[in-house]
Amino acid sequence: MSDLNLRELHNTEFPIPDELQSNLAITSLSKVYNWSRRSSMWPLLFGLACCAIEMIGTAASRFDFSRFGMEVMRGSPRQSDLMIVSGTVTKKMIVPIVRLYNQMPEPKYVLAMGACASGGGPFKEGYNVVSGVDKYLPVDVYVPGCPPTPQALIHGLIALQKKIDGQSLANMDDVPWYGVGPSEPTPIPILGPDVIDPRQMDIIRRQAELAALGKPYGVRELPAPQMKAVVAAKGAAPAAAAADGGEVDAAKAERLRKREEALARKHAAKGE
């Protein structure tokens, strides 16, 4: 950021005389914090897979994300604020990734770049693939695409800046790192027969008990699809649905009635 524009920081509640506009700003602490943080995000120099190539492309001269204060890619997690998870997260790799995340100082952010990091992507079925880094780390911004174009990544980074702009020092749910005391590190996954998330020990124990009893384990029965109910609601007259009672149903019926009215109006307009 070459020119420091103090006007960006003004809090309009306190008027500042015109002649001092470029010398003086009265603002809140949060705003100063956020402004300085969002203007110098230092991403971790950390490429996982194909998406990393586009990340490097974004850093290179054509797209150049240093225009947004992000050019200082750091090799060490200790010096970085932002982890761009650029590529497929495998079970073998999630262990170092969680370690790296724990080593980053707070405040820290995670951006899931591409389909793989967001939800497993094309390789989701794979036995060694973690379907989305958000299974382990809190993700702030998801960038869709396979791979996302540099424009998309920059858009994601700008979205992250907007998110930071909206954070407040006063609200601790918003930014946990301004709370009292150190925050808990994310537990490191264990590579056993398959990857084990220590936070899931209870579920795993329960399933193991089922297995010991010779019952089916590891799967969950899903309720049958709700298709019929929806069709019935559509087919039934609004009045009949309302007669069923229940607030939800009433609201639904009301919506349906409004929609049908609108449709009728539309048809009428067309007919003319």
Partner 1 sequence: MVIAAPQTVDVDVNAVIDKLKEKFPEAVKNDTRQGYKGVIVDKSKLVEVATSIRDEFGFDYLSSATGVDYLGIADEMEMVYHAYRTTGGPALVFKAQTPRDNPEIPSLIDVWPGVDFQEREVWDLYGIRFPGHPNLQRILLWEGFNGHPMRKDWKEAYFEEDHKPFESRWPAGHVHRIEEKNAYGHNVMYPADLDLSRLTDTSEESLYNSLGLGVDVQDLTGEGGIKTDRLVVNLGPHHPSTHGVFRMVVTLDGETIETLDPVMGYLHRNHEKIGERNSFLQNMPFTDRLDYISSMSNNLGYALAVEQLLALGARYQPPTYRAEVIRVLMAELTRIVNHLWSLGFLLNDLGAFFTPMLYANNEREKILDFFEATAGSRLMCNYMRFGGVFKDIPERIHSVVNMVNDKVRDYNTMDYLTEMINERLPRFMDEYERLLVNNEILKTRTVGVGVLPADRAIAYSTCGPLLRGSGVAYDIRRSDPYSIYPELDFDIPVGQNGDIYDRFMVRVYEIRESLRILKQILPRLERTKGEEVVSKFNYLGRVPIGESYGRVENPKGELGYYVVSAGDEKGPQNPWRYHIRAPSFINLTALGPMSKGYKVADVVTILGSIDIVLGETDR
**By CB under 6 A, residue 85 contacts ligand SF4:** no
Residue 116: CB atoms within 10 A of its CB come to: 29
Shortest gap between Cβ of 233 and ligand SF4 (angstroms)?
38
- The tokens describing 98, both together, are 């969680």
Task: Rule CB under 8 A: say whether 125 interacts with partner 1.
Answer: yes
- What is the C-alpha separation between 254 and 37, in angstroms, rounded? 47
* 218: Cα within 13 Å, side-chain hemisphere: 5
Write down the least CB distance from residue 92 to ligand SF4, Å.
Answer: 15
* Contact string 174-213 vs ligand SF4 (x = CB under 6 A): ----------------------------------------
Selection from ligand SF4, partner 1, none that 195 binds (CB < 5 to 8 A by kind) is: partner 1
- 49 touching ligand SF4, by CB under 6 A: yes
- Minimum distance from residue 260 beta carbon to partner 1 (Å): 23
Q: DSSP letters of 74-125?
A: BSSGGG-SEEEEESPPBHHHHHHHHHHHHHSPSS-EEEEEHHHHHH-GGGTT
245-264 CB burial, b ≥16 within 10 A, e <16: eeeeeeebbeebeeeeeeee
Per CB under 6 A, the list member of 51, 55, 104, 143 interacting with ligand SF4 is 51
Alpha-carbon span 261 to 51, nearest angstrom: 48
Residue 225, binding choice from ligand SF4, partner 1, none, Cβ under 5 to 8 Å by partner class: partner 1
Binding partner of residue 219 among partner 1, ligand SF4, none, CB cut-off 5 to 8 Å per kind: partner 1
Amino acid at 101: Y
Specify whether the backbone of 248 is left (phi greater than 0), alpha (psi in -120 to 50) or beta: alpha
Those residues with Cβ within 8 angstroms of residue 233's Cβ, 6 or more apart along the chain or in another chain: 241, 252, 256
Q: Which residue in this structure is represented by tokens 């996302």?
A: 148
For position 62 contacting partner 1 by CB under 8 A, the verdict is yes
# residues near ligand SF4 by CB under 6 A: 12
Q: State yes or no: residue 225 binds partner 1 (CB under 8 A).
A: yes
- When asked if residue 130 is in the footprint of partner 1 (CB under 8 A), the reply is yes
Could you say whether residue 102 binds partner 1 (CB under 8 A)? Answer: no
Q: Which does 114 bind (CB under 5 to 8 A by kind): ligand SF4, partner 1, none?
A: ligand SF4
Strand pairing category for 141-143 and 109-113 = parallel
Question: By the criterion CB under 8 A, which residues form the site for partner 1?
Answer: 45-50, 52-54, 56-57, 60-62, 64, 75, 87-88, 90, 92-93, 95-96, 100, 120, 122-131, 135, 146-147, 149, 188, 190-197, 200-201, 203-205, 207-208, 211-212, 217-220, 222, 224-227
